[in-house]
Amino acid sequence: MAKKNQVKRPAASSKFEELMTGTTVFNVPLPADLKTLKGMSPIVIRQPYNIDYIHSYGQDSPFFAGLSNKKLLGTKCPKCDYTWATPRLACTRCGGETDWVELPQTGRVHTFTTCYFGGEEFLKETPFHLVLVEFDGVDTLFLSRLLGPEQPEDIKIGMKIKAKFRRNSQLKPTDVYFVPAE
Amino acid sequence: MRPVYMVSGGVSKFAKARPDATFQKIVKESFDYAMNDVPKLKHSMIDGSVVSYFSDHFTRQLMAGIMAVDYLGLCPKPNKRIEGGGATGGLCFQAGWEAVASGRMNVCAAFGFETMSHVPTWKGNEFIALASDVNFDYPVGGFYSGYYAMMVNRHMHEFGTTVEQLAMVSVKNHMNAYGNPYAQKRRKLTIADVRNSAMVAYPLTLLDICVMSDGAATCILADEETAFKLTDHPVKITGVGTGTDMMRMSDRPHGEVLLAPNEKKSDYGNLKYPGVHSFRAGRSAGLQAYRMAGITDPLKQIDFVELHDAYTSSEIQTYEDLALCKYGDGGKFVEAGYPFMPQIDYGMKLPKKGTLPVNPSGGLIACGHPVGATGLMQAVFAFWQIQGSIKKHYGSPELQLKKANRGLIHSHAGTGTYVTVSIMERGW
């Protein structure tokens, strides 16, 4: 019998999780009458597909070298002065080649979200916050994670945030992340 | 350029999963539907085709396009595959238009499909997120719902748009789909249902977001002479526009609004445009199509719109891009009731109900979003609406608009990178 003041416990699941495992089968039945085949239910099999790519960051590589040295690098067009927070070697405004510059390590939240679900690769990390960061004197934004606030309601557009770096670089854009600056 | 008409269309029933059929058979269902709807069109009269599907990852079959073409018996005639993310279907429709407008073909079949059920939902989200920069964006936590959620949070910040306004779009489109037998999700919802469903990416809930689907759609396009030989009720394509924008949202400029004919610079003060709150590609595509079709006041000159509501937020943003209202007024536009259908009871009070119905079919949110088919599906639903043949195809006249002489269809790819707008009009 349920009693008052009972400790709240998680409810038992009402649904089995879909599994991608199965049983090895070497044969299925086939009816003798071929006229019935169009009514046959489909055969569904598991088909694995795994690849390791040889991915080059190409001309973007210095950005990742910067992260592993705790520097945030953007690019600046020497002709039109436009500064890209997310670097690109070609200026799309004038077609010129940009130069690498160091970005400030403090900025503001331009916009944000909290992801409670995600692509399979990131599902285990949910919930997490994504932010687009704006920097003084820089014309474009930068996508990053925001750590620290617990709930989306704790994040405000315009709030000051600062960059932090992983100690052991993974050579991924998540080598940098942001936390509230004050 | 020659005038181009749509003479027929067909769709498969959109479903979460179609394990009973491969993509070729699903395409053939939509193709056969279209062929059967114009008995005078013989298979031999088709001069060639264009085919669209978004992701080789979902099919795990390269050159799936030609396999659909050969299944339909359209070899050795011309064909090419069209792809551009979420706008794949809209781009395919316009590629069919180009084939006929240029004189290369008199009759062109444009068909598209997607079979997204071949992987679990979260793997599917991972595939879709690969349509973001894999150096800078995908590895940070690639998730399209997250990207659109960031955009709408900025839209709310700039313009005061509310989550209840977003939820109204979901209620509207799910309710419209109730009368569409091809739709995947036919549900009667309230604003509270939308807000109380699972949070996916703040502030977007499960019911603010479209789902994965298996499905196909076919449009048959023809030149003027052939069109009137085939049917008494062809629909003329009077405007096409295609806009683009930078893949990384972070790179989008913060400049001046691309003004529509019914807007002036002073309407926008210091608004930085498009930033991440608006889709410049949608505005660009709309302006091109309006110019071609001679539209200067879209709210008055268009009778209905089928637009790409992968998210309730993007429907509201698209009202603004298409200049149905000013930038910033999208939330108020739905709140006032403009995009609802006049004949449907939505269980809420709407002062301007039904002035310009948007997504009378139920849109992507309720019909489903089999990506390569979606833009073509919109064309088929718009075609039936303009023909006045909704009763014939849906089995009930409930969703037939009284005035449907001119419709707009709008297809949109990842965070607004490709957007197509096409104008379709009564051709007889």
Residue B365 placed within a domain: yes
Residue B138 placed within a domain: no
> What is the rounded average pLDDT of the residues B190-201?
97
Which residue of chain A has the CA closest to B141?
A: A122
The pLDDT, as a whole number, for residue A3 is 54
For residue B382, how many C-alpha atoms fall within 13 Å in the half-sphere facing its CB?
37
- CA of B114 to nearest chain A CA: how many angstroms apart? 18
The pLDDT, as a whole number, for residue A6 is 65
Residue A36 pLDDT > 60, yes or no? yes
A140: which chain B residues are within 8 Å (Cβ-Cβ)? Answer: 250-252
**Mean pLDDT, chain B, integer:** 97
Which residue of chain B has the CA closest to A75?
A: B251
> What is the rounded average pLDDT of the residues B181-185?
96
For residue B305, how many C-alpha atoms fall within 13 Å in the half-sphere facing its CB?
30
Other beta carbons within 10 angstroms of residue B378's beta carbon come to 32
The rounded distance, in Å, linking the Cα atoms of B79 and B82 is 10
ipTM of the complex: 0.96
Cross-chain Cβ contact B142/A18 below 8 Å: no
The CA dihedral of B209, B210, B212, B213, to the nearest 10 degrees, is: 170
Cross-chain Cβ contact B201/A120 below 8 Å: no
Residue B403 placed within a domain: yes
Tokens of A36: 């019935």
User: Which amino acid, one-letter code, is at A25?
Assistant: V
A49: which chain B residues are within 8 Å (Cβ-Cβ)? Answer: 60
> What is the rounded average pLDDT of the residues B50-72?
96
CATH code of the domain covering residue B414: 3.40.47.10
Residue A2 pLDDT > 60, yes or no? no
Kindly report the three-state secondary structure assignment for every residue of chain A. Answer: CCCCCCCCCCCCCCCCCCCCCCCCCCCCCCCCCHHHHHHCCCCCCCCCCCCCCCCCCHHHHHHHHHHHCCCCEEEECCCCCCEECCCCCECCCCCCECEEEECCCEEEEEEEEEECCCCHHHHCCCCEEEEEEECCCCCCCEEEEECCCCCHHHCCCCCEEEEEECCCCCCCHHHEEEEECC
Tally A–B CB contacts below 8 A: 129
Cross-chain Cβ contact A86/B126 below 8 Å: no
Q: Of all residues in chain B, what percent are helix, strand and coil, respectively (each to 5)?
A: 40, 20, 40
The pLDDT, as a whole number, for residue A4 is 59
> What is the rounded average pLDDT of the residues B392-414?
97
> Between B141, B150, B276, which is nearest A145 by CB?
B141
Cross-chain Cβ contact A152/B203 below 8 Å: yes
Q: Judging by beta carbons within 10 Å of its beta carbon (0-12, 13-18, 19+), is residue A164 exposed, middle or buried? A: middle
> Between A49, A113, A141, which is nearest B153 by CB?
A113
Residue A120 pLDDT > 80, yes or no? yes
The pLDDT, as a whole number, for residue A182 is 80
> Between B120, B141, B151, which is nearest A20 by CB?
B120
The residue that leads in pLDDT, A13 or B174, is B174
> What is the rounded average pLDDT of the residues B3-21?
97
Cross-chain Cβ contact A84/B251 below 8 Å: yes
> Between B134, B200, B254, which is nearest A117 by CB?
B200
* Each residue's pLDDT tens digit, B310-365: 999 999 999 999 999 999 999 999 999 999 999 999 999 999 999 999 999 999 99
Cross-chain Cβ contact A113/B141 below 8 Å: no
Tokens of B23: 């993509």
Cross-chain Cβ contact B146/A49 below 8 Å: no
Cross-chain Cβ contact A143/B248 below 8 Å: yes
State the pLDDT confidence band at B47, using cuts at 50, 70 and 90. very high
User: Which amino acid, one-letter code, is at B124?
Assistant: G
> Between A18, A111, A118, which is nearest B143 by CB?
A118
DSSP E strands in B68-172: the ranges are 79-82, 107-115
The pLDDT, as a whole number, for residue A42 is 95
The rounded distance, in Å, linking the Cα atoms of B112 and B126 is 22
The pLDDT, as a whole number, for residue B372 is 98
Residue B399 placed within a domain: yes
What phi, psi does B195 have (nearest 5°)? Answer: -70, -30
Residue B274 pLDDT > 80, yes or no? yes
> Between A114, A125, A142, which is nearest B201 by CB?
A114
* Each residue's pLDDT tens digit, B215-235: 999 999 999 999 999 999 999
The rounded distance, in Å, linking the Cα atoms of B289 and B307 is 14
Which residue of chain B has the CA closest to A40?
A: B20
Cross-chain Cβ contact A111/B154 below 8 Å: yes
The rounded distance, in Å, linking the Cα atoms of B186 and B414 is 25
Residue B371 placed within a domain: yes
DSSP E strands in B350-413: the ranges are 406-412
Residue B46 pLDDT > 90, yes or no? yes
The pLDDT, as a whole number, for residue A5 is 62
DSSP one-letter string for B61-74: -TTHHHHHHHHTT-
The pLDDT, as a whole number, for residue A11 is 82
> What is the rounded average pLDDT of the residues A156-172?
97
Cross-chain Cβ contact B126/A113 below 8 Å: no
The pLDDT, as a whole number, for residue B370 is 97
State the pLDDT confidence band at B173, using cuts at 50, 70 and 90. very high
State the pLDDT confidence band at A7, using cuts at 50, 70 and 90. confident
Q: Token match 């690639």: residue? A: B142
As a whole-number percent, the residues of chain B with pLDDT over 90 amount to: 100
- CA of B241 to nearest chain A CA: how many angstroms apart? 22
Q: Judging by beta carbons within 10 Å of its beta carbon (0-12, 13-18, 19+), is residue A110 exposed, middle or buried? A: buried
* Each residue's pLDDT tens digit, B67-84: 999 999 999 999 999 999
State the pLDDT confidence band at A20, using cuts at 50, 70 and 90. confident
Residue B392 placed within a domain: yes
Residue A19 pLDDT > 90, yes or no? no
- Sketch the domain layout of chain A as residue ranges: 59-180
From A22-31, B91-100, B371-380, the region with the lowest mean pLDDT: A22-31
DSSP E strands in B335-417: the ranges are 406-412
B149: which chain A residues are within 8 Å (Cβ-Cβ)? Answer: 113, 115
B15: which chain A residues are within 8 Å (Cβ-Cβ)? Answer: none
Cross-chain Cβ contact A132/B150 below 8 Å: yes
Rg (alpha carbons) of chain B, rounded to whole number: 20
> Between A57, A85, A132, which is nearest B276 by CB?
A132
> What is the rounded average pLDDT of the residues B273-300?
98
**Mean pLDDT, chain A, integer:** 93
Residue B188 pLDDT > 70, yes or no? yes
Cross-chain Cβ contact B143/A119 below 8 Å: yes
Which residues form the domain of B351?
A: 238-426
Residue B120 pLDDT > 70, yes or no? yes
A152: which chain B residues are within 8 Å (Cβ-Cβ)? Answer: 202-203
Q: Looking at the 3D structure of chain B, how many domains does it have?
A: 1
- CA of B10 to nearest chain A CA: how many angstroms apart? 23
State the pLDDT confidence band at B121, using cuts at 50, 70 and 90. very high
Tokens of B196: 């109380």
Cross-chain Cβ contact B139/A172 below 8 Å: yes
